[in-house]
């Protein structure tokens, strides 16, 4: 996992802790307004609020430490870029990365359509060292100013490529479901070699029992394991654009690349959810919810049943870091529900009078909220909505986040820019590709809720 990914996870954890602390404070205010207020109840709620406050501080310090580490890495990289031997003269002005008051390498006032940027990209691939130097300087500027927004895009020629922000600010890309669930999975760096990831699973454990009598044999069971072979998959897409569009268009190449990268992410996320045999939908144990008039209060016990099954499958290997994954239409349907019923047990981060909490985060920005028992929700529109006999059902998935594994190349997705192959037709071929592997089956724990109770929702307030 890269430092940027760790920082993104730390920010999500801090957001969750802040929301929990806010919920506990709201609960304390609500408690103090009740007529049958007791000192013990207030003391207990204050303790919960203080514990949530301590968690915020802990998450804040962890994020600050990672950000300090990132700043130091960038500082060292900048020092390395400026360091030359004593025998070498000082670098020219346009060979040093400068951010802030200094002018950017590519600017809208001097390269409004991005022609210079695209020409440098092409020249760098053909071995032009000056063009490559400008691209690398531009990347240093982007990492400094937008490091928390960038996903690594590796190439064979240089460490990465990010289109200048001003070239992509105004165009309207095709909307994609992108990769909310894939970003929430447990990430690993894909091994450098091989087309298979192997995991040993103990399927028969040892045995322990009371000794029958003194000097008699104690319990014995030979342990056995089974290899879990996880294939490394290749995702790729291509687009041929005319040289006229590249050389005389307004940022055409950057728009095409952006669309390819986002479709790559959407494909990966769709596969980890819906791929035959290995996707989450295929491997999850089914809990059927049948109803002609479905309501949120009917559905919720099925969620609790699923979470119970997750823990029963994991036992002492359960991390407690559970997730509910659902389509956005199901998330908004749950928010539309109104009820006068309250849970019998209080839950962390949820006020008893309400059926969960909405964190009001945007799509694809991490946890969207929590269910009544405090389970975080990931909203992902790669969750299919054409399931069931009527082809109008969706599913809700319940998993232990730490047992949803995703291996990715740290530089993925990568791309190839080929001119020679399409030279006779004045075309430029762009190919985006990457390798990944995933599994939800290290432990057979995943659950899914499906059935007629999850048809296209009607927003009736029930």
CB count in 10 Å sphere of residue 54:
12
For residue 216, being part of any structural domain is answered with no
Cα separation values, 327 from 139, 181, 338, 454, 455, Å = 36, 11, 20, 11, 12
Pairing of strands 376-379, 322-326: parallel
Residues 74, 124 within the same domain? no
3-state helix, strand, coil in the chain (%, to 5): 40, 20, 40
Q: How many CA atoms lie within 13 A of 24 on its CB side?
A: 26
- The pLDDT, as a whole number, for residue 250 is 63
Q: Which residues pair with 326 in a beta bridge?
A: 379
CA angle 298, 17, 401 (to 5 degrees): 60
Asked if residue 153 and residue 189 are part of one domain, the reply reads no
Instruction: Based on the fold, state whether residues 362 and 284 are members of the same structural domain.
Output: yes
For residue 31, the domain's CATH number is: 1.10.287
Same domain, 163 and 249: no
Residue whose entry in the numeric block shows the structure tokens 């927003």:
459
* Residue-level pLDDT at 352: 56
Do 120 and 75 sit in the same domain of this protein? no
pLDDT at 412: 86
Say if residue 126 is in the same domain as residue 180: no
> Can you tell me the distance from the alpha carbon of 324 to that of 335, in angstroms, rounded to the nearest whole number?
15
Question: 181 lies in a domain?
Answer: yes
Do the domain assignments include residue 93?
no
Sign of CA dihedral 289, 272, 358, 388: negative
pLDDT of residue 180: 95
Low-confidence ranges of the chain (pLDDT < 70): 1, 80-102, 112-115, 122, 125-126, 145-172, 249-250, 339-355
Structure confidence at residue 385 (pLDDT)? 97
Neighbouring CB atoms inside 10 A of 28's CB total 18
Within this chain, do residues 254 and 338 fall inside the same structural domain, yes or no?
A: yes
CB-based contacts of 297, cutoff 8 Å, min separation 6: 337, 339, 341, 355, 462
- Cβ(313)–Cβ(444) below 8 Å: yes
Tell whether 182 and 250 lie within a shared domain: yes
pLDDT score of 113: 62
Indicate which CATH number applies to the domain containing 279. 3.30.2400.10
Do residues 55 and 161 both lie within one domain?
Answer: no
Pick from 303, 284, 459: nearest CA to 371: 303
What is the 8-class DSSP label of residue 361? P
Of 288, 322, 271, the residue nearest 446 (C-alpha): 322
At 87 the pLDDT is 44
Q: Are 348 and 364 part of one and the same domain?
A: yes
Q: Find the domain containing 66 and state its range.
A: 3-82
State the Cα–Cα distance between residues 395 and 373, nearest whole angstrom: 19
Q: Which of 82, 99, 128 is the last residue of a domain?
A: 82
240 in the same domain as 147: no
Q: What's the total number of domains in the chain?
A: 3
For 41, other C-beta atoms within 10 Å of its C-beta total: 14
Output the pLDDT for position 331. 93
Domain boundary among 168, 185, 209: 168
pLDDT tens figures, 311-342: 999 999 999 999 999 999 999 998 888 766 65
CA distance 346 to 369: 17
Residue 318 in domain: yes
Shared domain for 298 and 394, answered yes or no, is yes
Is 103 a domain residue?
Answer: no
In a domain, 206, yes or no: no
- Considering the domain boundaries, does residue 213 fall inside one? no
């Amino acid at each position: 996992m890269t430092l940027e990914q760790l920082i993104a996870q730390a920010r999500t954890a801090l957001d969750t802790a802040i929301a929990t602390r806010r919920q506990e404070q709201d609960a304390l205010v609500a408690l103090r307004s009740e007529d049958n207020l007791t000192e013990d109840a207030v003391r207990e709620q204050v303790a919960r609020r203080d514990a949530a406050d301590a968690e915020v501080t802990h998450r804040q310090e962890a994020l600050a430490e990672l950000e300090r580490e990132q700043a130091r890495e960038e500082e060292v990289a900048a020092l390395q870029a400026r360091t030359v031997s004593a025998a070498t003269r000082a670098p020219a002005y346009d060979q040093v990365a400068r951010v802030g008051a200094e002018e950017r390498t590519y600017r809208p006032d001097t390269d409004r359509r991005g022609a210079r940027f695209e020409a440098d990209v092409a020249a760098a691939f053909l071995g032009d060292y000056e063009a490559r130097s400008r691209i690398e300087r531009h990347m240093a500027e982007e990492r400094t100013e937008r490091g928390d927004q960038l996903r690594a895009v590796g190439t064979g020629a240089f460490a990465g490529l990010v289109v200048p922000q001003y070239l992509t600010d105004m165009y309207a890309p095709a909307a994609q479901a992108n990769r909310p669930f894939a970003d929430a999975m447990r990430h690993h760096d894909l091994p450098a070699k091989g087309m298979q990831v192997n995991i040993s699973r103990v399927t028969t454990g040892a045995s322990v029992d009371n000794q029958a009598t003194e000097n008699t044999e104690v319990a014995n069971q030979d342990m056995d394991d089974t290899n879990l072979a996880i294939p490394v998959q290749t995702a790729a897409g291509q687009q041929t654009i005319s040289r006229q569009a590249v050389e005389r268009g307004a940022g055409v190449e950057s728009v095409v690349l952006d669309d390819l990268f986002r479709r790559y992410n959407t494909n990966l996320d769709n596969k980890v959810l819906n791929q035959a045999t290995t996707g989450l939908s295929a491997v999850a144990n089914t809990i059927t919810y049948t109803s002609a008039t479905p309501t949120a209060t009917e559905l919720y016990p099925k969620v609790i049943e699923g979470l119970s099954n997750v823990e029963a499958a994991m036992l002492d290997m359960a991390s407690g870091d559970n997730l509910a994954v659902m389509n956005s239409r199901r998330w908004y349907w749950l928010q539309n529900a109104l009820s006068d019923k309250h849970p019998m047990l209080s839950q962390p981060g949820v006020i008893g009078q309400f059926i969960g909490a909405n964190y009001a985060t945007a799509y694809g920005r991490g946890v969207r909220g929590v269910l009544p028992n405090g389970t975080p929700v990931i909203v992902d529109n790669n969750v299919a909505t054409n399931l069931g006999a009527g082809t109008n059902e969706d599913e809700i998935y319940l998993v232990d986040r730490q047992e949803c594994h995703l291996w990715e190349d740290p530089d993925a997705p990568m791309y190839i820019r080929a001119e020679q192959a399409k030279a006779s037709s004045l075309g430029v071929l762009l190919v985006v590709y990457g390798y990944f592997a995933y599994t939800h089956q290290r432990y057979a724990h995943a659950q899914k809720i499906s059935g007629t109770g999850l048809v296209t929702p009607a927003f009736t307030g029930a």
